[in-house]
Chain A
Amino acid sequence: MKPLHLISPTSSFYEQLSKLSLMSSKEFFTDRYRKLGWKYHTVELKKTIRINSANVKKPPDLVKRLQDLGLVLTKVPFLKNGYWVEESRFSAGATTGYLSGLYSIQEAAAQIPATLFTELKDKTVLDACAAPGGKTTQLADLMRNTGAIVALDVNRQRLTALSNQLERCQVKNTIVYQLDARRVSQLETSYDRILLDVPCSGNFATDRNWFKRRTIKDVERNAALQREILTETVKMLEDDGEIIYSTCSLEPEENELNIDWAIRNLDMRVEEISCHGQEGLTEVFGKHLDGSVGNCMRIWPGQTQGFFVCKLLKSESA
């Protein structure tokens, strides 16, 4: 009798495990989170706004104006320009203030990456996976519309959404190309700062069907794509440049394991950052990672969605 090959020698440990077990996808992933030190629980995310400070002379006046309209706002303690919408009588995305680009709607954790760059004014910045543009408009705001942002995305429909965001937020320093980040060298430009908010598997906090939709294979496919993007964009980074790498995935393959890989294969080092979250994992399912991966920040869902962020610099030997 032919043996039943449930386990292929090339499939990953977790793929093999999920094939062998009778676990549901939810059990499978939540068990992984438990092993990584976090107990799964459902979360209810609050809508968050970010004030576009370059377009608002006095942010407290805008907050008062929105409160007078019936939005109940509380300051997000770990963000300079972020406010949670506790209650509202109408959509925060349909006010004159929003349509005039005085503020944007952007999840709280997603507001963190752009703030981690040191000095952005007059820099040449690459936003490698830019659509729909929340972080691009935030970068432009932090740059006070100086320097230049090159924003890339592959999907034309998403580029239209990105362009609308740029126009709404009064962004003047950005050029948008329909281009796969893996082909960034075609533009023949080097960058002082690179934001890699890479395509990822997402997390259950922002997608109620996440566990039904996702498999470990998706995670591994995304992780491979992220490594390709990292490899190609690092080539275009100035020697004293900075990369901020972020995902809204909870899966270590897309986060700590990829950063460990970048340290070993791309001569990058992880710079310490200070932001909301916990230190990155340095031991993942029994695998010991480079100690500096602890400089990454991992945010488990709770006050915000799940998130991962780190700052990469070229190592001195590179």
Chain B
Amino acid sequence: MIKPIDDFVSLFGASISLEESLIVKKRNRYFLLSASLKKLTLKDFFYAGTYLGKVKNGRFFPGFELLRMMAEKKANKVVVNEKTEWLFICGRDVFKRGIVKVIGPGRKGDHVLVLNCYGECLGFGRVISDLDKEGVVIKNILDIGDFLRREARTL
């Protein structure tokens, strides 16, 4: 697979398989196409298929569909309660008391997907403290509230 994507996915102890011939790079952004879309794709498109993420200053920033794909597979995840779900999509970190379930080792330094009780991926963060300790345990890195922040920027 494409190295930046592969490296990012492996941070979560996950593995996904993407057809490399269907991945296109437009400047610093990666998109996954379907076969029928690939036939129609010219060089100067603005957006195409599934947005996988972008590389900026050497770092990979994932698209939400990539996170959703990972959430469907084996990966480090935490499930949070309703109140924490709301706080997380508002950009807040996760407290120990908001976690309902931990899937995977959940060690300090691990990257984890954050899911609500319906299994919907809300974003991801990094474990900054042992998950059995009180206080903030997961640092929010990206959450779906980003769509609202982007809307506000484009208005």
Contact = CB atoms under 8 A, between A and B. Distances in A.
Interface of A: 65, 93-94, 96, 99-100, 122, 124, 145-148, 150, 156-157, 159-164, 166-168, 170, 172-178, 187, 189
A96 B120 CA distance: 8
B69 to A, nearest CB: 11
A252 B68 CA distance: 46
B37 A164 contact: no
Contacts of B63: 167
Nearest to B153: A160
A94 B47 contact: no
Given A96-B86, A187-B40, 20 more contacts: A94-B148, A96-B120, A100-B144, A148-B34, A150-B40, A159-B47, A163-B51, A164-B150, A166-B47, A167-B65, A168-B64, A172-B32, A172-B49, A173-B36, A173-B49, A174-B49, A175-B49, A176-B45, A176-B46, A178-B44
B122 interface: yes
A96 B143 CA distance: 10
B145 interface: yes
A100 B40 contact: no
Contact of A99 (B32, B47, B68, B148): B148
A160 B41 contact: no
Contact of A173 (B37, B85, B121): B37
Contacts of A148: 34, 36-37, 39-40
Given A100-B120, A148-B37, A161 B46 contact: no
A159 B45 CA distance: 11
A162 B41 CA distance: 18
B154 A160 contact: yes
Specify the main secondary structure of chain B where it touches its partner. mixed
21 contacts: A96-B122, A99-B145, A99-B147, A99-B148, A145-B34, A148-B37, A157-B154, A160-B154, A163-B51, A166-B47, A166-B51, A167-B51, A167-B63, A167-B147, A168-B64, A173-B36, A173-B49, A174-B47, A175-B37, A175-B45, A176-B48
Interface size class of B (residues with CB under 8 A): 35 or more
A177 B34 contact: no
Nearest to A167: B51
B89 interface: yes
Contact of A176 (B47, B86, B150): B47
A161 to B, nearest CB: 5
A187 B42 contact: yes
Most buried by B among A163, A172, A173: A172
Nearest to A69: B82
Contact of B46 (A65, A170, A178, A187): A178
Nearest to A189: B40
B50 interface: yes
Contact of A175 (B48, B64, B68, B89): B48
Contacts of A173: 34, 36-37, 49
B135 to A, nearest CB: 24
Contacts of A187: 40, 42
Interface in B67-123: 68, 85-86, 89, 116, 118, 120-122
B108 to A, nearest CB: 27
